[in-house]
Amino acid sequence: MRWWDIDAVLELEDELFPEDAWSPGMFWSELAHARGPHATRRYVVADEGGRLVGYGGLAAVGEVADVQTIGVTRDHWGGGLGARLLTELLRHATAFESSEVLLEVRVDNTRAQKLYGRFGFEPIGFRKGYYQPGNVDALVMRRDMRDMKEALPGETGRGPGGTDTDG
């Protein structure tokens, strides 16, 4: 993801997270930390014929990485794009040499929880009222990175005629 992607990302963000969408400033700030030798963030987008159809971001502090966000346009749900984006984020966590990856997900978001579960994330606790203003609890999930190699699907990225993930 680069700064010129932010408008399209915000449009999708508003649609996917109507109650608690990130502001433009949050994406600008995240991207500011995604470049240079001391980068602590990696943000990726999925582009299909010039249209942004998905995005995701990872933050790494010390040995712990966090999946900051992930989203896919509704017309692509169930097609495996969420899995490809998550695969990219976990590859970046490996590059950051993170020993574990954490994330928060709404307790009522079973679709995303299933995706994370397939990638080896396990529930480790709750954060009460994490999502405001709706006061919805977050489920905290954790993925041990020590067994990364066995669990990642095969080659991802630029396939002919498919949707490209790029970051």
Enter the tokens of residue 96. 């950051």
Question: Which one, of 114, 90, 110, 91, lies nearest residue 102 by Cα?
Answer: 90
Q: Choosing from 104, 122, 150, 155, which is the catalytic residue? A: 104
Enter the tokens of residue 144. 């041990």
Cβ proximity to ligand COA: between 96 and 116 the closer is: 116
Nearest-CB residue for ligand COA: 82
Stretch that binds ligand COA, among 23-31, 74-82, 145-153, 157-165 (CB under 6 A): 74-82
Measured in degrees and rounded to the nearest 5, phi and psi for residue 159 equal: -105, 150
List 71's β-bridge partners, or say none. 55
Residues 80-99 that bind ligand COA (CB under 6 A): 80-83
Q: How many CB atoms lie within 10 A of CB 14?
A: 11
29 to 68: interface string for ligand COA, x by CB under 6 A: ----------------------------------------
User: What stretches of 4-141 show up as alpha helix (H) in DSSP?
Assistant: 6-16, 24-32, 81-95, 110-118
| Cα separations in angstroms, 1 against 31, 33, 129, 132 | 8, 12, 30, 26
- Count of residues interacting with ligand COA (CB under 6 A): 18
Spatial contact of 69 and 22, defined as CB atoms under 8 Å apart: yes
Stretch that binds ligand COA, among 39-47, 58-66, 71-79, 122-130 (CB under 6 A): 71-79
Residues 103-162 that bind ligand COA (CB under 6 A): 105, 109, 111-112, 114-115
130 carries an active-site annotation: no
Interatomic CA distance for residues 151 and 74, integer angstroms? 26
Cβ proximity to ligand COA: between 28 and 77 the closer is: 77
116 carries an active-site annotation: yes
Q: Which residues are near ligand COA by CB under 6 A?
A: 16, 70-72, 76-83, 105, 109, 111-112, 114-115
Report, as residue numbers or ranges, the catalytic residues: 104, 116
